[in-house]
Amino acid sequence: MIHIGSIIKKEFDKEGRSASWFAKQLCCDRTNIYSIFKRESIDTLLLVKISAILKHDFFKYYSEDIKDSITE
């Protein structure tokens, strides 16, 4: 099982942006950004927004996880 929050954090860190910038893009409070980084799962609409902001397909990690579980 993937931990989507930590994957988002890694991509966010690559961008070199601040949590305040990310919060402004998501129209939320900065403290919510740290909450996102701790999540094991996430709402799909929020993940679509995050994918667009960070220009990264986070859904592929779920697809890979599903493929792995099917082939076991």
Q: What is the pTM of this model?
A: 0.90
CA pair distance 28, 51, nearest whole angstrom: 16
- pLDDT tens track for 10-67: 999 999 999 999 999 999 999 999 999 999 999 999 999 999 999 999 999 998 888 8
Give yes or no for a contact between 71 and 12, defined as CB atoms under 8 angstroms apart: no
CA pair distance 54, 70, nearest whole angstrom: 29
CATH number (domain holding residue 34): 1.10.260.40
Tell me how many domains the chain contains: 1
Q: Which residue has the tokens 């994957």?
A: 7
**DSSP SS3 for 49:** helix
Parent domain of 42: 4-71
